[in-house]
Amino acid sequence: MKILVSGSAGHVGSALAEYLLKEHDVVGVDLCTPECDPVKSATVKGDVRDAKRMEALMKDVDVVVHAAARVSVDASLKEPIEDASHNIDGTLTLLECARDLNLKRFVYISSAAVYGNPASIPIKEDEHLHPLSPYGASKLTGEIYSMVYYRSFDLPTVCIRPFNIYSKRQDPDDPYSGVITRFRRCISKGKPPVIYGDGCHSRDFVHVSDVVMMIDSCISSKRAVGRVYNCGTGVGTPIKSLADLMIAISDRTVKPAYEKERPGEISHSVADISRAKMELGFEPTVKVEDGLREILCP
């Protein structure tokens, strides 16, 4: 198959494109250049909001995986209009370009940020959706458009809601990286990792390789069409425990520093992955401790 991966220089997109290149013809598109050589050679520069550019790139593809996005809650709070431009306008542009192409699948990579503070843990896909940030709102809007194109135009869409994705591929110098990458940056320099709030809030950390496996299942499974799936491990890790574990693995003597909780911060976020297990046969394979050792002890 020929598969277009938007955001192929990003954390998820680059890992996915590298995996898919083993068996498929992959076209990556991104505003940046991927660091991974196989993905770099398969990626062209482009903006998913550029309809003419996307029409040309998508005219003979079988599958589109839309992973391109601005993925920072902090950045969305500072620049909500720019966040909406990338995450909403970009998604709608790709959907519109795709609707007459007879695609086998359009996979939209959403986010657990669509839930906000859930009523119960673990979070099921039918939980009420109350995003707390412009980022969460933009990703939810992309989901809504994806499902409207499925119902209105028979575009075979599927949405995935990854929880906290991590791997050694994340850029430790990116100020908007996830908490694992931020902690890694501090600990490697002998500085205390900064915890916002009391550290009791928890997250479901899922390795990027498990996210890639779910995306691959959504591409091949007919049952996935028109569905939304959580992508996580089903296990929550308190942020304080995460910091302590990373310090221990790194064999450092630093202690976490605590600062005021940030606006838009979700208290607890743990996935119920029973739907993905039942319908896709999804089973996460990387435990948090093993994934952290991969990052911290290369």
Residue 170 is predicted with a pLDDT of 81
CATH of domain 167-203+235-269+285-296: 3.90.25.10
What is the spatial distance between Cα 285 and Cα 122, in angstroms, rounded to a whole number?
19
Residue 176 is predicted with a pLDDT of 59
Active site residue 135: yes
- Predicted structure pTM score: 0.94
For the chain, where do the domains classified as CATH 3.90.25.10 start and end? 167-203+235-269+285-296
What pLDDT digit, counting tens, does each position of 38-74 carry? 999 999 999 999 999 999 999 999 999 999 999 988 8
3-state secondary structure of 54: helix
Catalytic position from the list 19, 108, 115, 135: 135
User: CATH fold of 2-165+206-231, please?
Assistant: Rossmann fold (3.40.50)
Name the phi and psi angles at 152, rounded to 5.
Answer: -90, -35
Give the residue ranges of the chain where pLDDT is below 70. 172-176, 264, 298
Residue 173 is predicted with a pLDDT of 65
Residue 36 is predicted with a pLDDT of 85
For the chain, where do the domains classified as CATH 3.40.50.720 start and end? 2-165+206-231
What pLDDT digit, counting tens, does each position of 98-137 carry? 999 999 999 999 999 999 989 999 999 999 999 999 999 9
Residue 262 is predicted with a pLDDT of 79
Residue 298 is predicted with a pLDDT of 66
Listing DSSP states for 72-112 in one string gives: -HHHHHH-HHHHHIIIIIHHHHHHHHHTTS--SEEEEE--G
